[in-house]
Every structure is written in structure tokens, then in C-alpha cells.
Homo-oligomer: A and B are copies of this chain.
């Protein structure tokens, strides 16, 4: 039986715990600096409480490590695990800035592809159906991708500093989607950003409304549309257009109820309000994907290098938005100095 160590016993650990029990995946040890949280989770999972993260990842009966600690400990915990030769699944992001992300990838070296980076949207049933349609050739050659991604409401103002802002924390998901679906890197990027929802966000140097357009070497185009506040709930759609047709991963709805009345005439039930509800299944699916790769010993399908690429694009987007210019990218995803 495959067994994991879990670092962190908070909300995301709870989310993953149910999936582990349901799939009969064992947990050998749990560590969290909050001891009672560790103990409660350990009881539910029939696991041991470890005295330290190092102890948890080093156990012989541990085949892989699940990191769901706070973002500032990701890098340290990842390196603990990879140094113990254990495959890792880590919540995104690797780090909060491009510089730190580069440092992390440098430190990982060849182990970078053994770190499963939890870009959970790759495992959403709707986006996966879209990817499958592409792979089956239903859409033909991809020509344009339009990614709309709007959150129900902005995060607390104080979180902006630590999160890295809209481009690093929120759009990074969409930048990863763009790379995953297109299967090609970008050579040019232009961003527009504004603080239309809350001027206070602008004063902190961040934006809450952004559009990014990107061009690949082949000429194929991607547009990303972001907002921090959609009054009607999570709005996350992806449209892929190609030579043979188009497929759209539409917003799923809370129910399939459709209403008709004198004033409304035909409104289906609303969109989700909370990301854990909207993406509930994707967390289970990504976890099972990680465990499968642990069992096979193979490279992770979404790993630290993907994290780095997405961070490069987020960095370019931020710069383009601030400096009002189109940015040219080299083959490493870095800005070409003479633009």
C-alpha cells in the first residue's frame, strides 16, 4: 500500500484527507506546528504524528510527501523531501516572486520534475474535457484561446503584499492553463491592468482588473481576462478556437434548475461562490494523479519547471501593465532586453 507523509494539517489537508480515505491511500505520518491539528487529522487517517517535518519525510514507509503548509515554507519543505529522495506534491506557488522561484528551481536541479506542482485546474473535469477534445483533434489546429477568470470578491487588502498581487497569485493559474492547452511557449506579451474594483488596491501597487494578450512563435494568440470581483460568482471559462471548430469549458452551475417567470424568463441556477466548491473534484483528481506517479516513479506531469514558466509570464505581465509596453520574450520565457 502506498503511504504518504502530510506536512500541514489545515483546510487543504482536510480536503485531501477525504480523498485519501476514499481511495484507500495510506498516510504514515503527519506534521504541523499546530500539534492538536496534527493529532485530529492523524486519528482520522489512522496515521502517526511526527515530531518534525524532517522526521515525517524521512520515514522508510513514506513513499511520497504532500505539502499543504503556508506558502513561505513551501521551498524549505520541498527541499527536505527531495533531499530524502521522496516525490512531492506541493500547493502552488513554489514561491511568491520570480527571483525566489528561480532560486528554488536551481536548488532542485534534476529533482524539479519530481515535484508535483498543484495547479489544480489542470484536473478540473471541465477543463480536462476541453484538453481531451483538443487531443482528439476535434478542434483541429489551435488558433486562439480566450481565458476568462474572475473571482467572486477581492482578497483582503493585507494579503496583497505577501501574495505577490493579481499577476502572481491569480493570473498564474490562467498562464499555466494557456501553456498547458496551447502546448507552445510565448514570444510576446502585452498587459493592461487597473484598479477598477477598489482604488486602494492601486495605491498598494497592484491591480484588480487585467487583460493580457500573448503571441506564440507560430502566431497563435491567447487572451486572458481577469477580475477580482464578479458579483455573480466564480466565472472561469476557457474557449479554444481552431481550424476545425471551437470548444468552451463553460461555468458549471450549482444546480441544473432553470426558472421562467414574468420578470426573469429562463435563468439557470447560479455559479459557485467559493473555490473549494467550484473545484472540489479537481483536488481529488490531482491527488490521485500524484499518487499514481509516485507508484510509477515517473516524472510529474505538472512540476516545478511549469511553476517557473508561469512565474516568468506573470512577471512579464506585471511589467507590461506598469510600464505600458508590449514585452518580447526569449525562449526561456525571460524578457528580451532590447524590446
The 8 Å CB contact of A244, one of B243, B251, B262, is B262
Known: A194-B220, A211-B223. A231 touches B243 (CB 8 A): yes
Stretch at the interface among A59-67, A85-93, A324-332: A324-332
For A44, what are the chain B residues with a Cβ–Cβ distance below 8 Å? 21, 24
Interface string of A206-246 (1 = CB under 8 A from B): 00011101010011110101010111110100000101111
Interface string of A22-61 (1 = CB under 8 A from B): 1010000000000000000000101000000000000000
Does B246 lie within 8 Å of A230, measured CB to CB? yes
* 5 A–B pairs (Cβ distance < 8 Å), ordered by A: A143-B209, A232-B261, A232-B264, A324-B326, A325-B326
Does A268 lie within 8 Å of B265, measured CB to CB? yes
Does B244 lie within 8 Å of A261, measured CB to CB? yes
A250 contacts B by Cβ under 8 Å: yes
Per assembly, the copies of the chain total 4
Separation in Å of the A277 CB from the closest CB of chain B?
11
A249 contacts B by Cβ under 8 Å: yes
A70 contacts B by Cβ under 8 Å: no
Does B233 lie within 8 Å of A265, measured CB to CB? yes
For A309, what are the chain B residues with a Cβ–Cβ distance below 8 Å? none
Does B143 lie within 8 Å of A196, measured CB to CB? yes
A105 contacts B by Cβ under 8 Å: no
A138 contacts B by Cβ under 8 Å: yes
Does B225 lie within 8 Å of A259, measured CB to CB? no
For A188, what are the chain B residues with a Cβ–Cβ distance below 8 Å? 192, 324
A269 contacts B by Cβ under 8 Å: yes
The 8 Å CB contact of A255, one of B129, B196, B227, is B129
Measured CB to CB, the nearest residue on chain B to A140 is: B231
Stretch at the interface among A2-10, A144-152, A154-162, A165-173: A144-152
A18 contacts B by Cβ under 8 Å: yes
Does B250 lie within 8 Å of A256, measured CB to CB? yes
What CA separation (Å) do A196 and B140 show in the bound complex? 12
What CA separation (Å) do A140 and B18 show in the bound complex? 41
A181 contacts B by Cβ under 8 Å: no
Measured CB to CB, the nearest residue on chain B to A128 is: B255
What CA separation (Å) do A267 and B268 show in the bound complex? 6
The 8 Å CB contact of A231, one of B245, B256, B271, is B245
Measured CB to CB, the nearest residue on chain B to A144 is: B225
A257 contacts B by Cβ under 8 Å: yes
Known: A192-B213, A326-B326. A246 touches B223 (CB 8 A): no
What CA separation (Å) do A157 and B196 show in the bound complex? 43
Does A266 lie within 8 Å of B265, measured CB to CB? no
Known contacts A231-B261, A320-B326; 11 further A-B pairs (Cβ under 8 A): A21-B21, A22-B22, A126-B255, A129-B255, A143-B196, A146-B148, A194-B215, A232-B264, A245-B262, A246-B259, A246-B260
